Chain A
Amino acid sequence: MLVPGVRPHDAVSNDVLGMTAALRGDGHEVAVFALEGERVSEPVLHPDALHDWLSGPDDVLVYHYCVGWDIALDAMRRTRARRVVRYHNVTPPEFFVDWSPGYVAACTAGRAQLDDFAALQCELYLGDSPYNVEDFTSRGVDPARCAVVAPFHEIGQLASLAPQPARIPDGAPLVLTVGRISPNKGYLQLVDAFAALRAEAAGRDAHLLVIGKLDPNLSRYGEALDERIAGHGLDDCVTILQDANGAELRAAFERATAFVMLSRHEGFCVPLVEAMALGTPVVALGSSAMPSTVADAGIVWENDDAHLIAATVARLHRDESLREALRTRGHRRYATAFAPDALARELRTAFARFTSK
């Protein structure tokens, strides 16, 4: 497993560690290579040692592609092992044009390597979602070399935590969203929708809870978000928690009326799965990979019209049977598609091409 870095509570790292455990469970010897491995129990080796481990075509090198990284491209070009590109997607740079030149440069470099990896004709392109796989099939990669396995996650661990509700607001309804504070996540539109909800009688006691960190490099976007909240006069009914722990996240999912995600670009969106697994009704914008992640287990809209989102939350707030129906669908969706056993089975099927010879 080759990845730029491994750290706790990180979506890509969780996938690396989950895949490692699943493959070991199937009897494979697996090692993780990264430039940094912080506070994880898995031993992390330096990428310089890769070629000592990969002796020939019986081995498999899995690269977790989420940023532009020349070391990985070089390693994939040189190795004699079979190559798997585990693609988590790279956010298109246009989302950051008005906010951060650094992000624009990084995302541009990251997406530029799509052509390079497609040209390598690796043995397997393993996307988190059908949406991710399209990035390679549209560049001429044979669909027979592509497969989809949803990312491994730590939802089981999250579900086992005792909820800590002390900092979770009492909203009726309580609108929850989870994810780093970034322009592609559609937070400004979410605040507009929340303002529309507050303007209605059903939403007078509503509260919006945002759980996610803001990168200092995107501070201008954070300021714009604050201005939008203040512009609607919502300072007292919007809470942003940048330092929530797992137990608080667990409590937020438990207390929320709806989990609303209006992101414009997601390669998969793990928080949607967390909401489904923990029984929170999902309302999402049908952009990028989100429709395939939610499927029929939530309410997915083709646009993020503020009144439409507000009316959906208001309906969920007053309609217990609708909430229960979405909870049931969410549990079923998680159990059949995203539970660890299901992911391990899908991964085994995808890797069967390497073991069935």
Chain B
Amino acid sequence: MTVQDAQLECVKAEIRAEADLARARAPQPRRDPPPRRKTPSQADPVAADRERIEYGIAELVGPQYVAFVEQAYRAILKREADEAGRNAQIALLANGTSKAEILGNLRWSPEGRAAGTHIKGLLPRYLLAKIGRIPLLGYLADWAIAFAALPKLMRHQRATDTSIGAVALANRTTDARLDAARSELEGRLAAVAQDVSALQRAVQDLERRAGEIEPRARRLELRADALEDHARESDARHDAQLQRADRLAQRADELTHYVHTGNHWLVSVQRGMDEVERVAGDLRDRAERLAAAIVEPGDMRTDRAERHAAWARDVAMRVGAGRRVLDLGSGDGDWLDALARVGIDATGVEPVTALADQAAARGRTVAAGDPLDVLARSADGGIDAISLSAAALGGEPVRIAQVVVEASRALAPGGRVFLRCEAEPRRVAADMPDAARWRAWFEAGGFRFLDSLQDGPASLTVLARAAE
């Protein structure tokens, strides 16, 4: 017990003491019902007589035989009769002693005197009974009393005869009923005996059939055991099948999940592609706007037109009018204008749509698209001369190599290449590949260098495809 528990026990002890004090100060009304008094039928007969001291002679002499003796003891001696006393009083009755004398003997015995019960009318009868016990006088007195009572005795005798007759009649009736009942009982006993023998036969039959059934029951028991084993095995198989089904269902769920995931991924990819296309379109638009912006007229060298005119004359001199000339990277068409003025109707290709539109507005034949793609689609040996702008084609080595290969294929034998390297527009000129690199690529691709027209940083390099 902890200290706290001990303290709590102390508190409880104090509360108990306070409750005791409160109970003493103001007891609560009783809630439980008081014990019930016994009803007369339940009462103790001795106790009932114990309190009573007045009786009439008639109520005590009414009962017969043992009941008379026991009633006399309870009324007069206020107790149950002991066995010896009961037997003695019954013996007196059997000897013809009157009830009045027996009652008187009890009443005036020492125990009866101590009890003091008063029985109205008992004393004269008791005295007469006792007088009859005096020799001779008692005999005469008995005679006198008997003689005096003779009329009453005769009436009593007649009543007794009638009563005996009635009893005899009742006895005969009872005997007849008993005989009938006995006959019926005998009949029933006979029927019961028949039933018993039938039952015995049935029992024997049942025992015989039980004997026959027993081996079959054993066989059934064995079959039941076998079935039980079979059921157990079936359960195990069933459980295994269920587990397999569960696994399959789980796999199906996983596959469904994968399909859903794939669908989701495809949708995401499609959306991504749309977004890429949209961004690419935006970038293309921005690039075109930028390209258009960097070739603003004010940004160009003022001597560009004069240079173009001089170079165009040189081209015309080297190629001649009416030849098929393809210009790659035509820009806004000013170079094509210069060529046209010397009689060369060249076809241009410009990757920047806005510039191609400007060139078309000048009345030049210019296609918007990648110059390398157009060159690659040209027929073998179908072009007499190619004019190309290094700035438009860019400086990627692989791209330069592709231009050299395609130009070698598309040019007619001895066809010319006019490579323009110009410093316009100035903002991007620093990134332009120089003429020397382009020339080196063309020479590596089998072209022969013919000439180079310089105009400051700008140059027009003339190369020729080797003849077949």
Which residues from chain A sit less than 8 Å from chain B, CB to CB?
55-56, 192, 195-196, 199-200, 296, 299, 305-308, 310-312, 314-315, 319, 322, 325, 329
Contacts and interface: CB of A to CB of B under 8 A. Distances in A.
Given A56-B235, A196-B28, A315 B5 contact: no
Interface in B212-262: 235, 239, 242
B8 interface: yes
A322 B14 CA distance: 13
Contact of A315 (B14, B26, B239, B242): B14
Contacts, number: 50
What is the interface of chain A mostly: helix, strand, loop, or mixed?
helix
Given A56-B235, A196-B22, A196-B26, 14 more contacts: A56-B239, A192-B28, A192-B31, A196-B28, A199-B22, A296-B5, A307-B19, A307-B22, A308-B15, A311-B15, A315-B18, A319-B11, A325-B4, A329-B4
B52 interface: no
A299 B11 CA distance: 10
Interface of B: 4-5, 7-8, 11-12, 14-16, 18-20, 22-23, 26, 28, 31, 235, 239, 242
Closest 8 CB pairs of A and B: A311-B19, A307-B19, A311-B18, A308-B19, A307-B23, A307-B22, A311-B15, A199-B26
B4 A55 contact: no
A192 B23 CA distance: 12
A315 B15 contact: yes
A229 to B, nearest CB: 14
B18 A314 contact: yes
Contact of B22 (A56, A310, A319): A310
Contacts of A319: 11
B12 A195 contact: no
A55 B239 CA distance: 9
Contacts of B31: 192
Contacts of A306: 28
15 contacts: A195-B28, A196-B22, A196-B28, A200-B26, A299-B12, A305-B23, A307-B22, A307-B23, A308-B15, A310-B19, A311-B15, A311-B16, A314-B18, A315-B18, A325-B8
A200 B18 CA distance: 11
B242 A55 contact: yes
Contacts of B18: 311, 314-315
Nearest to A193: B28
Contacts of B8: 296, 299, 325
B245 to A, nearest CB: 11
Most chain A CB atoms below 10 A, which of B11, B12, B22: B22
A312 B242 contact: no
A311 B22 contact: yes
Contacts of A310: 19, 22
A308 B23 CA distance: 9
B22 A315 contact: no
Nearest to A328: B4
B11 A315 contact: yes
A56 B18 CA distance: 63
A307 B11 contact: no
Nearest to B28: A306
Contacts of A305: 19, 23
B362 to A, nearest CB: 80
A338 to B, nearest CB: 20
Contacts of A56: 235, 239
Contacts of A329: 4
B31 to A, nearest CB: 7
User: Looking at B11, B16, B239, B242, which has the most chain A CB atoms within 10 Å of its CB?
Assistant: B11
Nearest to B27: A307
B9 to A, nearest CB: 10
Contacts of A192: 28, 31
A322 B28 contact: no
Contacts of B23: 305, 307
Nearest to A305: B19
A314 B28 CA distance: 17
Nearest to A299: B12
A312 B28 contact: no
A81 to B, nearest CB: 13
A296 B31 CA distance: 32
Contacts of B15: 299, 308, 311-312, 315
A322 B11 contact: yes
B22 A200 contact: yes
A195 B11 CA distance: 22
Which residue, of A192, A299, A311, A319, has the highest number of chain B Cβ atoms within 10 A? A311
Contacts of A195: 28
